[in-house]
Amino acid sequence: MGYLDEFNVLVEDIDLYQIYQGADGTPAGGMCSAQENMVYKNAMKFGLAEEFERRPYKKHTFTGEYTPWHNVAAKQEAKRNNEKVHNCLGGDPLTSYLNNALVKEALHISASSAPWSDCDNINYTILQKGSLWIYEELKGQIKMLHYSGDKDGVVPTQGTLEWIDHLDRAEVSPWKAFNEAGKTGEAAKQVAGYFWQLDGLDFGTVHGAGHMCPQDEPARSYQLIVNWMLGNPIDPNWTSEQKEQFI
């Protein structure tokens, strides 16, 4: 077994999109079996009979199939052994809704079109040249914000910071925390994330969020993104000096 295979086995019961949350939205456990996943998927996509009772949908949870190449080795091994594997598909209302015949007709989607899926393998060419160049091309042309959930194990904050460091941008405004808006008392002191401004690129973290920030922490994500878009201080309670630093 190679190192990657060993790693995949060790983390197969962890939802890497939200590392402190189980795949069914609970703190731990409750994993769906590979057989359950396949039955749910076929039932929702092709209208086949469901052999298991569908697990209930929970607000702000997700299927985890946004990057189908993730954990492939562990999933394949689990399927061969009929073992449990993370990323429940059961109870996903969006897939069921968008594959409904009436909805497809209302959206002018052909009945013969392929079933909708939250993620599909796209045939594209991977270039040796990474995406750092586009940030240089767009510098000074558009306002840019990159944000990251600090509990994301798939595209972790540390990895994002490493490629941002490779841009070698001058710091415009130093790191500073922003607290969750609209709170009072001790709750108003809760750190909602951090914000950093470089020459031509801003970066923010969303505390408590995983891969899908607005899904995991909607209020904190809204506070960061909308205030940034409007040019308002991310935290209305920043000091005068901190607000002056915000550009």
Residues 6+ apart with CB under 8 A from 190: 179, 180, 183
Render the burial of 83-102: b for 16+ CB within 10 Å, e for the rest: ebbbbbbbbbeebbebbeee
Q: What is the pLDDT along the chain (247 residues), one digit of tens a residue?
A: 678 778 777 776 666 667 766 544 444 334 444 455 566 556 655 555 555 555 554 444 444 444 444 445 555 665 676 654 444 444 456 677 788 888 889 999 998 888 776 665 667 777 767 788 889 999 999 999 999 999 888 889 999 999 999 999 999 999 999 999 888 888 788 899 999 999 999 999 999 998 888 888 899 999 999 999 999 999 988 887 777 666 6
Predicted local distance difference test score (pLDDT) of residue 234: 92
Range(s) for CATH 3.40.50.11320 in the chain? 132-245
| Nearest-angstrom CA–CA distance, 16 and 11 | 8
CATH assignment, 132-245:
3.40.50.11320
Q: How far apart, in whole angstroms, are the C-alpha atoms of residue 132 and residue 55?
A: 42
The answer to whether 91 and 56 have CB atoms below 8 angstroms apart is yes
Q: Say what the pTM is.
A: 0.64
